[in-house]
Structure 1
Amino acid sequence: MDGRILMARVDCTEEIDLCRRHHIQGYPSIRIFRKGSDVREDHGHHEHESYYGDRDTQSLVKTMEELVAPIPLESQKLALEDKSNTTKRPAPKTGGCRIEGYVRVKKVPGNLIISARSASHSFDASQMNMSHVINHLSFGKTISPRVLTDVKRLIPYLGRSHDRLNGRSFINHRDLEANVTIEHYLQVVKTEVVTKRSYREHTLIEEYEYTAHSSLAQSIYIPVAKFHFELSPMQVLITENSKSFSHFITNVCAIIGGVFTVAGIMDSILHNTIRLMKKVELGKNF
């Protein structure tokens, strides 16, 4: 009531442009602004703070008291943020997030869906953009560099599937269209490399490569990023077969015989050419 904190309420269903500029995607959202301004002079970055604490009256009042505690009543100069407050943290500069982890899946067709869910928020699907960048997506265990180096002498193309999603960006530029879901359809194929050492078969590597096709689709529900994956019933099996010593001797003899045969043909051609030239020369002298 002393003017150190001013409270305001915004209806994002009416103030659509304002909420879009401040990356409001979930309701209710509580933002804390200092000095009545939220935009820096350099590149328009936001300086507001987002409240992540409990939504009951006691928690909210406690947070407000902590905010005004360092502010003298006789001064209108606002202090810097109290860094000891653990219930709030600076909001991200963009409306995105980073997802990292592992998911156990069965060897049957399935879906991996990334969407916004919260028990204490509601979402405006028309304001959500599911554009994303895939840094890495793979199936199976990660192959160590040492094993990959050993196996590349057998199959140089292993580990470079012709349509991986790694490092690719999927941006939704349809600003006028809402509820756009980005879907990826993955066809997964298992590749197994088997080598023979001391007359024993040894599985050197198992890798799941995939091809991918992506598309955008509209729905009436909250937009998501969806990955449909299906394991192919076919499998690529690469086997290393050692050659016998007799096969090596046969190849060597074939190479040597070929060299002698080619040398004999060249000698015959050269000899006949010289004889023909001598006959022509003798005929002219006669």
Structure 2
Amino acid sequence: MTSLFAATRIRAVDFYRRVPKDLTEASVAGGITSLLAVVILLVLIVTQTLNYLAIQRQTDIIVDTSEDAILNINFNVTLPHVSCEWASVDLVDVIGHKRINITDRTVHKYNLDGSYHAPAAKEDMHVHYGDSPTDHYGNTRHAVELTGDTFPKFVADYKVVIVNFHAPWCPHCQRLSPIYEHASEIVHSWKPPGFTGDTSLRMATVDCTTPLNGRLCRKHQIQAFPSVRVFREGTDIHKDATNDDHRELMEKHPFLVLPMLHESYEGPRTAAAMSDFAKQVWKETTGWGLQRALPAPGGGTDGDGDGKHDSKVATKGCMIEGTLAASRVPGKLIIAPHSSGHSFNPELINITHTIHHFSFGPKLPERMGRYLREGMGGAYARPSGVHQGGGYWRARPGRRGMDAGVVFASEVQHITHEHYIKVVPTMYQALGGFPLDTYGYTVNSYKYEAATNMRAGEVHWEAPMVKFSYDLMPMKVVVREHRKPVIEWLTGLSAIVGGVYTCMQIVTSLIGHVNDMYKKMSLGKLG
């Protein structure tokens, strides 16, 4: 009796009383509505579950209280018109630190033919000059003075021509001039033992400051004075360049403008060394006394037999990549042409460049890269092919390296490019992982005419350069990954089930009511 009484009391509070099946009526409309309700329920339940499993990100902004003293700058930049031997990497900051002669082993330079050039370092090596009598050779001419009109035929008529591209105002050219004339006298009067006739070996000069000769110097990509070029059998372009047609060549070197692989003299500036070098080049080219051979890209000719190349075959283009450790204060990373043994003509310097990568902070291991999401590092940290920062994207499907990046072009002379960067310290807390301290940034890029100054009543242009000016924000962005709590998923699930059931019940009742009205109207009983 007690259990029966308890069961009766419990049934009295039943909120979900069941209607006997015999008192219900099934209908086609109800069946269709039920099937539709099941489909809607499944779709909404799957959507709710996926939303629960998806990683959510919460962003907060706090005051940056970190005490890091060092800021790593990671970069990969290509300058297709500046030779690696001139490209210099400098770092300066607002507290007075200046690193003008960077020799870090973490920064490297590569010629655009793919050969390795050297760690980042300015060409500040001591240039050894000879002591040819200035009074004598400063007033006599033994080298042939060429112009834009006479140059093509002259170099085509001789087996080997050594050409000194110079400018009268250049102090290094003035110092080299008597030495070069002395070497020319030796070379033009030289004949190897047993050789008869003309050696077809000449040394010549070109003044790049005249308008006609200026076009010739631009054609041969003369960037600094003096530049001593080696022309074998009418050209200073290496055979690897002339054997390919233009289309194949541009596929191999997409940023270069022909001509490209030049041979330049880089040995001691003495009459003996330069004349010995010219003789050795002639022997290699004609095959006199040794096997006929031409230096390969990255190689050269050893004129004095000391085991070191006195010339080098290389492209006039450079890719610079690596990491620099800078003080964690505002500063500038500068890439500019420089040499202690040459003078530059700013009109011939084209600082067009491509940014393949630029970021701040430590380089993260590859296994941790999945924690970083698109856009976390900055505009050039993870290039995606879309950019609105003043350059244009050059990307080719299936290609990597220097074929993809943001190109900043100099369409006219004397153009300097400057990228203003606001660095934002960022902490990324991945779900189930360790906090990653990195840096994001925003960037605005501009180009303008290089600065000028007056000397002796004349306007002198500074050499164009690329500047990356950066400043650190005092705030820190904290991004945390998280998932929704289980209770939120259960609450949403209950709402979905109850809501769909109620809505479908209302729809079923409405359909049934409309159907009953239609039947009554058909029988004339509506009213």
TM class, shorter-length: 0.7 to 0.9
Does the alignment pair 1:49 with 2:263?
yes
Structure 2: stretches of 5+ with no match in the other structure: 1-188, 191-197, 247-257, 303-308, 380-386, 392-403, 453-461
Partner of residue 12, structure 1: 208
Partner of residue 21, structure 1: 219
C-alpha distance in 2, partners of 1:255/1:59?
Answer: 89
C-alpha distance in 2, partners of 1:238/1:139?
Answer: 17
Does the alignment pair 1:59 with 2:297?
no
C-alpha distance in 1, partners of 2:473/2:322?
Answer: 24
Evaluate the alpha carbon distance shift between residue 186 and residue 72 of structure 1 in structure 2; reply closer, same or farther with a 3 A threshold: closer
Evaluate the alpha carbon distance shift between residue 234 and residue 51 of structure 1 in structure 2; reply closer, same or farther with a 3 A threshold: same
Evaluate the alpha carbon distance shift between residue 171 and residue 109 of structure 1 in structure 2; reply closer, same or farther with a 3 A threshold: same
Aligned pair partner of 1:202 in 434, 438, 445: 434
Partner of residue 216, structure 1: 447
Aligned pair partner of 2:512 in 263, 271, 279: 271
C-alpha distance in 1, partners of 2:363/2:405?
Answer: 17
C-alpha distance in 1, partners of 2:224/2:337?
Answer: 9
C-alpha distance in 1, partners of 2:286/2:448?
Answer: 55
Evaluate the alpha carbon distance shift between residue 71 and residue 124 of structure 1 in structure 2; reply closer, same or farther with a 3 A threshold: closer
Spell out the pairing of 1:139-218 with structure 2 (5 A cutoff): 139-150=360-371, 152=373, 158=376, 161=379, 163=388, 167-174=405-412, 178-195=413-430, 197=432, 202-203=434-435, 205-218=436-449
Evaluate the alpha carbon distance shift between residue 118 and residue 72 of structure 1 in structure 2; reply closer, same or farther with a 3 A threshold: closer
Instruction: Tell me which amino acid in the other structure corresponds to 1:149.
Output: R
C-alpha distance in 2, partners of 1:24/1:35?
Answer: 20
Partner of residue 250, structure 1: 491
Structure 1: stretches of 5+ with no match in the other structure: none
Instruction: Tell me which amino acid in the other structure corresponds to 1:12.
Output: C
SS in 2 for 1:99: strand
Evaluate the alpha carbon distance shift between residue 285 and residue 81 of structure 1 in structure 2; reply closer, same or farther with a 3 A threshold: closer
Whether the 8 Å contact between 2:421 and 2:444 is mirrored in structure 1 is: yes
TM-score (norm 1): 0.78
C-alpha distance in 2, partners of 1:169/1:112?
Answer: 18
Partner of residue 251, structure 2: none
Evaluate the alpha carbon distance shift between residue 212 and residue 68 of structure 1 in structure 2; reply closer, same or farther with a 3 A threshold: same
TM-score (norm 2): 0.45
Aligned pair partner of 1:125 in 340, 346, 371: 346
Whether the 8 Å contact between 1:111 and 1:227 is mirrored in structure 2 is: yes
Instruction: Tell me which amino acid in the other structure corresponds to 2:411.
Output: H
- Cα deviation for residue 262 of structure 1 reads 1.7
Does the alignment pair 1:31 with 2:229?
yes
C-alpha distance in 2, partners of 1:160/1:276?
Answer: 67
Structure ranking higher in helix proportion:
2
The structure that has the greater radius of gyration is 2
Evaluate the alpha carbon distance shift between residue 10 and residue 193 of structure 1 in structure 2; reply closer, same or farther with a 3 A threshold: same
Evaluate the alpha carbon distance shift between residue 90 and residue 158 of structure 1 in structure 2; reply closer, same or farther with a 3 A threshold: same
Q: What value does the CA root-mean-square deviation take over the aligned residues?
A: 3.4
1:12-68, CA deviations, whole angstroms, 9 ceiling, x for partnerless residues?
112211111111111111111123444659656467520122223443244234334
C-alpha distance in 1, partners of 2:221/2:331?
Answer: 32
- Cα deviation for residue 137 of structure 1 reads 1.8
Instruction: Tell me which amino acid in the other structure corresponds to 1:171.
Output: A
SS in 1 for 2:470: strand
Does the alignment pair 1:87 with 2:310?
yes
Whether the 8 Å contact between 1:26 and 1:124 is mirrored in structure 2 is: yes
- Cα deviation for residue 163 of structure 1 reads 4.8
Residue range with higher mean Cα deviation, 141-150 or 4-13? 141-150
C-alpha distance in 2, partners of 1:145/1:70?
Answer: 49
- Cα deviation for residue 224 of structure 1 reads 0.5
1:56-106, CA deviations, whole angstroms, 9 ceiling, x for partnerless residues?
344324423433455889x8xx954366632222242xx322212212223
